[in-house]
Amino acid sequence: MSIATGKNLTRNFTVMFMGNVLGQLFFFFALARLARVLGLAEFGAWNFAQVCMLYLFRASEFGLETVAIRETSKEPASTGMWIATVISLRFVLGTICFGVLVIVAAADLLPIGTSTLTLISSLTVFSMAFMLEWIFEAQQKAGLISVARTLKGVLFFLGVIMLVSASGDAEVAMYLYVGSLTIPVVIVAAIVFKLFGFEWSSLSMSRLMATLKKAGPIGIASMLSQYSMFASTMVVAYLLTNTELGYFTAAHRIVIFLWAYVILNLNRTLLPQLSTSFHQSHSEYRRFVLKTFRLAALVVVPIGLAGTLSSKEIITFLYSDRYEASGIVFGILLWGFVFATIRSILEIALVASDGQRQYLRGMVFLSILYTVLAPTLTLQFGIVGAACAVLVSEFSYFTFLILSCPFTKPEFLLKSSWKPLLAGIVALVSLIPFPELHFVFRVLISMVVFVGFVTGFKGVTVNDFELLRSTFRRDSIRPTI
């Protein structure tokens, strides 16, 4: 099977990115209303419940989508078989996860005021078993995926605007959230069943167990990744008050939007391309990994700069002045996102090259970091400490992946990333003497300093402009015959 052209890759990424952005913008508008209407404590409890749902979702998904994308991108004729396999396994795993949560809630092991909200949100594990967007991702047809993800955000936004009007409406908001996830899943599933069917005959216990074994390393790594992503939120929920949880989650929500949707969108777009490239030409595969890693470093650091320097203004614009204390938390968390974006290129490269076990080892390392740092720093410094735990953990994992990367030398990766990162630090330090400067001017000055530094120290060269121009050119990746 021929590799999708760079032009198709650009189009798919753009279409999926726009769908994610539109959907999440509507979701954020709804969250902003919830933050203003529910108040800090209730808003924090609502976010905690949604995080628990995301944990259950990841546990029930268990890496099955990633395996199915990889396998069907290589063998499209097996799509019907993989539909039956993935749905069956996800429904069984979702039922088990929901049962465990019911036991936890009955034992009163959830933070005060969160049990009912958590149980409501977790009902989604049943409908999400039929989430079949991965089929169109494998075929690199992003249009329907984009529409479905936009619809999720629109439905939740409209529901919150019309039906959530006062403190105490958190449960109503959670039911609306469950419905906004379920409706698009049903629509996409109906289309998929019509196009590809559902091969019941392919199901057997031996096949299901073999699929679980194949997905196991990815599934465990994905669960550990999800654990790491929200570990600080869980720690704040258990160690601090619901009000402090509200401050922390207000900032964390914005970063998660970038983290879970921009990074996930990039990874899911690249996975079929990298998987096919790896099996056709290792040299082309390595070239593309290095290229995207370098681009990620050059693009995401300025985003971190701009967000950090306008963090207070972003927070108050979205949530009102009551949440101003979240600004410093957001500024710190954003740099965790910077490191996560750059290293995510290496993670998806590992998955695409059948390096699941090394990916799993990395996730174990990251999870240990969060387990140690999050409670330690939170107890010592409150929500600022929880944010610092994210930054330190992500930087350490970023370093770990570079040093242990199996498909290229560490010095090549360091060369691609250290100058943009150092330029970002220099830009931030250069503004220390001007604390009262308007945030717009701070952002502009930081961009000038960043560009000047990377250009002056050859962090960006003439060749890089060619790299930027040619990355998604039609012939940027050519299959080896």
- Supply 74's token pair: 């290589």
- Measure the CA angle with vertex 261, ends 194 and 365; round to 5°: 115
The region of weakest confidence among 132-136, 377-381, 412-416, 458-462 is: 458-462
**pTM of structure:** 0.72
Distances (CA, A) of 163 to 36, 48, 154, 155, 176: 14, 21, 14, 12, 9
Mean pLDDT calculated for residue range 186-200: 80
- Supply 324's token pair: 């101003």
pLDDT tens digits along 272-284: 666 666 766 667 7
**Would the pLDDT of 477 be above 60?**
no
The region of weakest confidence among 33-37, 326-330, 462-466 is: 462-466
Distances (CA, A) of 478 to 6, 467, 474: 9, 15, 9
**Considering the chain, what percentage of its residues have pLDDT values greater than 90?**
13
Where along the chain do its domains lie? 1-203, 238-476
More confident: 231 or 476: 231
Give the per-residue pLDDT at 354. Answer: 67
Give the per-residue pLDDT at 460. Answer: 56
Q: With contact defined as beta carbons under 8 Å apart, do 110 and 104 qualify? A: yes
Mean pLDDT calculated for residue range 312-331: 85
| pLDDT averaged over every residue in the chain | 78
**Would the pLDDT of 11 be above 60?**
no
Give the per-residue pLDDT at 18. Answer: 64
The region of weakest confidence among 6-20, 58-72, 87-101 is: 6-20
Give the per-residue pLDDT at 383. Answer: 92
User: For every residue of the chain, which 3-state class applies, written as one string?
Assistant: CCCCCHHHHHHHHHHHHHHHHHHHHHHHHHHHHHHHHHCHHHHHHHHHHHHHHHHHHHHHHCCHHHHHHHHHHHCHHHHHHHHHHHHHHHHHHHHHHHHHHHHHHHCCCCCCCCHHHHHHHCCHHHHHHHCCHHHHHHCCCCHHHHHHHHHHHHHHHHHHHHHCCCCCCHHHHHHHHHHHHHHHHHHHHHHHHHHHCCCHHHCCHHHHHHHHHHHHHHHHHHHHHHHHHHHHHHHHHHHCCHHHHHHHHHHHHHHHHHHHHHHHHHHHHHHHHHHHHHHHCHHHHHHHHHHHHHHHHHHHHHHHHHHHHCHHHHHHHHHCHHHCCHHHHHHHHHHHHHHHHHHHHHHHHHHHCCCHHHHHHHHHHHHHHHHHHHHHHHHHHHHHHHHHHHHHHHHHHHHHHHHHCCCCCHHHHHHHHHHHHHHHHHHHHHCCCCCCCCHHHHHHHHHHHHHHHHHHCCCCCHHHHHHHHHCCCCCCCCCCC
Q: Which amino acid is at 457?
A: F
Q: With contact defined as beta carbons under 8 Å apart, do 33 and 162 qualify? A: no
For residue 196, what pLDDT band results from cuts at 50, 70 and 90? confident
pLDDT tens digits along 125-172: 898 888 887 777 766 666 667 777 788 888 999 999 999 888 888 889
Alpha carbon distance 337, 307 (integer Å): 11
Q: With contact defined as beta carbons under 8 Å apart, do 244 and 383 qualify? A: yes
Q: Which amino acid is at 89?
A: L
137: left (phi over 0), alpha (psi -120 to 50) or beta: alpha
Q: With contact defined as beta carbons under 8 Å apart, do 54 and 183 qualify? A: no
Q: With contact defined as beta carbons under 8 Å apart, do 208 and 350 qualify? A: no
Contacts of 185 (CB under 8 A, 6+ apart): 127, 128, 130, 131, 132, 148
